[in-house]
Amino acid sequence: MAASATREKIVTSADRLFYERGFEATSFADVAEAVGISRGNFYYHFKTKDQILDAVIERRIKDRHDMLDTWVDDGQTPMQCIASFIGILLMNNKKIRSFGCPVGTLFSELAKLDHPAEPGARELFDLFRIWLRRRFEDMGRTHDADALAMHILARSQGAATLANAYPDEPFLEDEVNQMIAWLDAVADQNAQKD
Amino acid sequence: MAASATREKIVTSADRLFYERGFEATSFADVAEAVGISRGNFYYHFKTKDQILDAVIERRIKDRHDMLDTWVDDGQTPMQCIASFIGILLMNNKKIRSFGCPVGTLFSELAKLDHPAEPGARELFDLFRIWLRRRFEDMGRTHDADALAMHILARSQGAATLANAYPDEPFLEDEVNQMIAWLDAVADQNAQKD
DNA sequence: CAATAATTGGGACAATTGTCCTATTCTGTC
DNA sequence: GACAGAATAGGACAATTGTCCCAATTATTG
């Protein structure tokens, strides 16, 4: 098989395992078994475990970047874009209830491990932060766009964490509704000023 | 030294290490070294690593329980109590910026590991949830006390996670102010109804 | 078809892990 | 001061870890 195809399969499996079990708790052998290749072959594609982590983070950044771009390219209004971001929580609610937020939980783990890839994980946060900031700016909130972006980012993180702790309760849906209501209120503030 | 004293020192060191490095990443040897005892002696007090984790969780529950009780016993109003809870974020802001929330990060890790102590970690959330619910009930919000408790819990978790991701920014303080403002608004809703 | 490069499988390597045992030292009581 | 039990130190144990090598196989090219 072409090396690039095998590499892609490794990254895909590692991405899933790092999310479901955590980076530290996932071994070289675990990923190799999930892909269906030998550990020796594995070494041919990735020399160290940290290299896999880097590739997984890169993949996640690309995936999220593409997703965010889609909404903008689809011609959604800035407010619809932000609502779509909030909607991620519902779209992935099953996984989030089981394993939390892929961005937040990875960052937390790497922060504790003092891992060199921590800045890479923070880039994932930055990606959403900057994109959200831009949407709020387009809504006319040039003065507090970043604060609003951080606020909605924090709310999402908190909702994901508690949804993970209480997966059987309809908490996530409630919190999403509150966030949408908050977004409406922000938009109303704008309307009054105009 | 008395066995109970050594045991306490072990739990204290393990508590700190599990918080700063994570449970999985902290080894038997790490804790023993931090306490200043041999691994053999360690085994005399705790037969398995999971037993240490159980003791750490028990300790955390007791500590938080005592802290919450203090505020109520001090004669604070329900609203002051909730404000004190929010104030934890500022009180521990240095640690939170470095390692996140001790409750949330531990739960996330154990959830990923599918660890038997996961319910114990959830108890920590329950402790805060039930205590907060009670305060909101005392404020007269009998109909939505639990939803309000979950909301403030989620906001705290999100604030801690992002403070961990952006430790050098004054985000945590901003978010705390917003949470206090939210609490004031909830109280105002009550006043209007009365 | 031959030869060269790309890809793979199987296993070796030292280090670390959680667990466990035993010999030794300390502590308190008669 | 002798003795019993509590407490400790040091190391053994198999299993697993990340890392690495090398021979065998596959794919590509002339």
Residue B194 has pLDDT above 70, yes or no: no
Q: At what angle do helices B78-91 and B171-193 cross, to 10 degrees?
A: 170
* Residue of B73, B185, B90 lying closest to B131 (CA atoms): B73
Amino acid in the structure at residue B15: D
H/E segment holding residue B115:
none
In angstroms, the CA B35 to CA B180 distance is: 40
Q: Is the pLDDT of residue A1 over 80?
A: no
Distance CA A150, CA A136 (A): 11
| pLDDT tens per residue, range A87-137 | 999 999 999 999 999 999 999 999 999 999 999 999 999 999 999 999 999
First to last CA, chain B: 60
Say how far apart CA A86 and CA A77 lie, in whole Å. Answer: 14
Burial letters for A40-53: b for 16+ Cβ neighbours within 10 Å, e otherwise?
eebeebbeeeeebb
The token pair that represents B71 in the structure block: 């505020």
- pLDDT attached to residue B188: 85
Among residues of chain B, what percentage have pLDDT more than 90? 93
List of residues 6+ apart from B17 with CB closer than 8 A? B26, B30, B31, B34
The phi and psi torsions of A93 (rounded to 5 degrees) equal -60, -35
Distance CA A167, CA B95 (A): 28
CA nearest B113 in A: which residue? A21
Q: With an 8 Å Cβ cutoff, are B112 and A100 in contact?
A: yes
The kind and range of the H/E element at B22 are none
Residue B151 CB-density burial (10 A; 0-12 exposed, 13-18 middle, 19+ buried): buried
When pLDDT is averaged across residues B114-118 and rounded to a whole number, the result is 97
Cβ of A49 near strand D (under 7 Å)? The reply is yes
Task: Flag if B99 and A111 touch (Cβ within 8 Å).
Answer: yes
Chain A closest CA to B3's CA: distance in Å?
31
Token pair belonging to A131: 């994109």
Q: Which residues contact B138 (CB under 8 A, 6 or more apart)?
A: B78
* Chain-centroid distance, C-alpha A21: 16
Q: Phi, psi at residue A143, to the nearest 5°?
A: -80, -30
Q: Check whether B1 has a pLDDT greater than 80.
A: no
Q: Which single residue is written with the structure tokens 């030998």?
A: A38
Q: Closest Cα partner for B135 from B178, B187, B66, B172?
A: B187
pLDDT at B125: 98
Helices (H), chain B: 3-21, 28-35, 39-45, 49-73, 78-91, 93-99, 102-113, 118-138, 145-165, 171-193
* pLDDT band, residue A190 (cuts 50/70/90): confident
- What is the reported pLDDT for A194? 62
Q: What tens digit of pLDDT does each residue of A163-185 get?
A: 999 999 999 999 999 999 999 99
Q: What is the percent of chain B with per-residue pLDDT over 70, rounded to a whole number? A: 98
A6 closest-nt by C1' vs CA: C7
Q: In this model, does residue B191 exceed pLDDT 80?
A: no
pLDDT in tens, B133-184: 999 999 999 999 999 999 999 999 999 999 999 999 999 999 999 999 999 9
By mean pLDDT, which of A24-38, A173-187, B73-87, B178-192 is the weakest?
B178-192
Amino acid in position A10 = I
Nearest CA in chain B to A182: B182
Tokens of A175: 């919190």
CA distance B23 to B111: 12
Q: How far is CA A61 from the centre of its chain?
A: 8
**Cβ <8 Å between A25 and B24:** yes
**Does residue B115 lie within 7 Å of nucleic acid chain C, judged by its CB?**
no
pLDDT given for residue A193 in this prediction: 62
How much is the pLDDT for A2? 76
pLDDT, tens only, A57-92? 999 999 999 999 999 999 999 999 999 999 999 999
Instruction: Report the distance from CA of residue A7 to the C1' of nucleotide C12 in Å, as an integer.
Output: 25
Do A162 and B157 count as a contact with CB atoms less than 8 A apart? Answer: yes
Closest CA to B120 of B58, B183, B78: B58
